[in-house]
Amino acid sequence: MMNRIFIAAFLAIAISSCNNSSTESTELVPSEISAKRTFNDSYNSLEEAEMKLIDIFDKRYNSPKKEYDFDCYMLNEELIDFICKEPRTLDYPFDSLQSKEYTTVVTSEDGNLRFYYWDNRMGGTYISWSNICQYRSGDKVYTYKNSIMNVKHGNVLEELHDGCSINGIKTIYDESNSPIYLVYAYLRLSSAFGYSSIEAVKIEGDKLVAVPIFVDKANDYNNIDPESEEYVAMCYRGLEHTIPDWYFRTNYGDGWDWLFSYDDKTNMLYIPLTGPEQGLSDRYSLYHFDGKKLCYIGEDAGFWLHPSLRSFNYLYAILETKDYKIRIDEMHDSSFRYAAWKNKSSMNDTPDIILYNGVYDERYEGYRFNNNDYEYIVNEDNGLVVKHEGKTILSQKIIR
């Protein structure tokens, strides 16, 4: 399955329009999907059409009486049909549909590339997302109504399910000032494992195509056969990783916000690395964009972390108490480091305190750090406890 995932996302995505382009792609042909329902209601505005779609979905998905056996699935066929028929939807926010969780919409900064995704309820612990892609080229809007994670180079697409979520789009510009879109895609493989990738795509005429932009060596960029697996591998970077531990280690999910980050000041893309048992480490492969390619330059911590803290092996915990934000890292010698800030500070600020040579203490079921006559103990049950000469002088529970 992973071979499909690694090769699938956004590879030479030549996309044919649903409604306003007669161009036929010779590189990739969408599969025929027999929609059981179409959106034929009349409407005077996109707002009115959105309300009618919500009314349809509310009655179907929330009604105890199902119209047919598959109504437990959220296929949203009328939404697909409406978006395909109505190119103006590319610029419409669909705030009400999103608030009802019938779809999520992610749009590029320039407004020319958009993805819709939703959980169609056809998976279990593996989430089955459905996808729609829209993009603008000149004065035309093209809509792609199959799952983007099913794309293979030159192959026919599969059915509408088995897609991915789109967690963000970063737009960068090449030397000719043409936009390249870095799309952060996520696929949940099970309750324990996910697959995250960053895909480079651009709009080229009436097509959305993958861009061979990732290189690990300067000379890798030239003379690559576009039909080769090596060429395909230059269009994305991805990794399989565990899910629950990162959620709990990074203050109940804060860590998802900084994966696949791009630093506009240095034109650097940060791609996460994994550590023991495929856990996300909070260390990153760095790729510098020189206007032509994203070239690998090494490994480091995130630019959002204060420079004094960027040397470590693996992030073990980020916690918050009433007054403090605490970070615990495993160092290269397997000891632990403690850093803390006042609660409204960011991790880019200078820490108020840094302690080294910490250990995991079975007595406390947590981490222990010594600072002269002071002892700092951190665990999930008791939060932060500070003792001076054996007496507790501070005790604060974890609040998130």
Q: How far apart are CA 293 and CA 47, in angstroms?
A: 41
In whole angstroms, what is the distance from residue 134 CA to residue 146 CA?
A: 11
Average pLDDT, the chain: 84
For 373-391, write each residue's pLDDT tens digit.
999 999 988 899 999 999 9
| Integer angstrom CA distances of residue 320 from 70, 176, 276, 354 | 44, 46, 24, 16
Which pLDDT value is given to residue 124? 82
What is the per-residue DSSP string for 105-167? Answer: EEE-TTSSEEEEEEE-S--SSS--EEEEEEEEETTEEEEE-S-GGG--TTPPP--S-S--EEE
Percent of the chain at pLDDT exceeding 90: 63
User: Are 102 and 116 contacting, i.e. CB atoms less than 8 angstroms apart?
Assistant: no
Question: Tokens 């509310």 correspond to what residue?
Answer: 58
| pLDDT bracket for residue 31 (50, 70, 90) | very low
Residue-wise pLDDT tens digits, 215-231: 987 555 566 777 778 87
CB neighbours of 132 closer than 8 A, spacing ≥ 6? 79, 80, 83, 115, 116, 117, 143, 144, 145
Average of per-residue pLDDT across 86-102: 97
What pLDDT sits at residue 69?
46
Q: Is the pLDDT of residue 270 over 60?
A: yes
* Mean predicted confidence (pLDDT) in 226-254: 88
Residue 186 above 60 pLDDT? Answer: yes
In the block, residue with structure tokens 């089955």? 128
Name the nearest CA neighbour of 353 among 379, 334, 330, 325: 325
